Amino acid sequence: MPVKALFKPFHLGTLELPTRVVMAPMTRSFSPGGVPDAKVIEYYRRRAAAGVGLIITEGTTVGHKASNGYPNVPQFYGEAALGGWKKVVDAVHAEGGKIVPQLWHVGSVRRIGTEPDASVPGYGPSEKVKEGQVVVHGMTQQDIQDVIAAFAQAARDAQSIGMDGVEIHGAHGYLIDQFFWEGSNQRTDEYGGSLANRSRFAIELIQAVRAAVGEGFPIIFRFSQWKQQDYTARLVQTPQALGEFLKPLADAGVDIFHCSTRRFWEPEFEGSELNLAGWTRQLTGKPTITVGSVGLDGEFLQFMVNTDKVAQPASLEKLLERLNNDEFDLVAVGRALLVDPDWAQKVRDGREEDILPFSREALMTLV
């Protein structure tokens, strides 16, 4: 199957990508003090130089006291962090690439003791108390408005430093997804109950981001059926329900849906070979990004624990067939690009034998 489909330009409004290859957002924890440094700048620059059309940064925390859940994760607020990101933007643009930050709030995943303020508990849709201590603060309506304002400000800042859009992280059991998911959202107000109500927080947040950046500035929304807390979880069970879930998000201002799955080749619903990105494109009419073990023969979960397993480069034939059939528009590559910054160049040049395998050791350094 010809690889040229991966290297055709993509246009959406003001967003013009030289290729269909997207760097998936991957938390790296190499930004001490929340500030991306010279190593982070070079990390992203190398991918843009080697044919990645769109870089979606690792998750960057918005300016809310409970947004962070991990050490050395970059911030997207404050003069120092935004200054660091401006250098990343300039380096990527100099290589002809495009870049958007993934705006992130971890919600109830946060644990007491986490930087920058160790005394702040997780924030989530519903309160959680353990041994008499509040470990998750149930968000008030004022908290909700504060978080929405933080996302809007981050988007405004992204626009001001020259980013090419923003991605809102609404997947994987983090804050926005915690509102979606019935298992974590037990609220009885207008933000709880039906899935339509549980989507209200995301809809209002997207609307605020759109108002902050105006029309024409691309908003990507990442969502998933699975959660870190439950890999078998499903928000919706049918295509009809998926359409009912996604339409309000699209109407609120989403331009591109980033449809997170663990294996891109798996059908989302019985009776069709379409994956989540394929169904989302069909149901919303919006461009979609597919993702999930692209270019590797082993999916990421087996590398979440100490292991000597190695994921070898895998055939792209099925992926290219789906892309050529317009099932989705863009392809996000994660671990294959993490370990091999020249992955896209090697694929384009037919040098598959030179592509590096992925092992857990690759997580320990930035290359």
174 included as an active-site residue = yes
Query: What pLDDT is recorded for position 59?
Result: 98
For 224-270, the pLDDT digits (tens) are: 998 877 777 899 999 999 999 999 999 999 999 999 999 999 999 99
For residues 110-114, give the mean pLDDT. 95
Query: What pLDDT is recorded for position 321?
Result: 96
pLDDT band of residue 132 (cuts 50, 70, 90) is very high
As given in the structure block, the two tokens for residue 251 are 């109407």
| Cα angle 76-81-83, degrees, rounded to a multiple of 5 | 115
Structural domains of the chain, with CATH = 3-364 (3.20.20.70)
Given 77, 123, 174, 191, the catalytic residue: 174
d(CA 172, CA 20): 24
For the entire predicted model, the pTM comes to 0.97
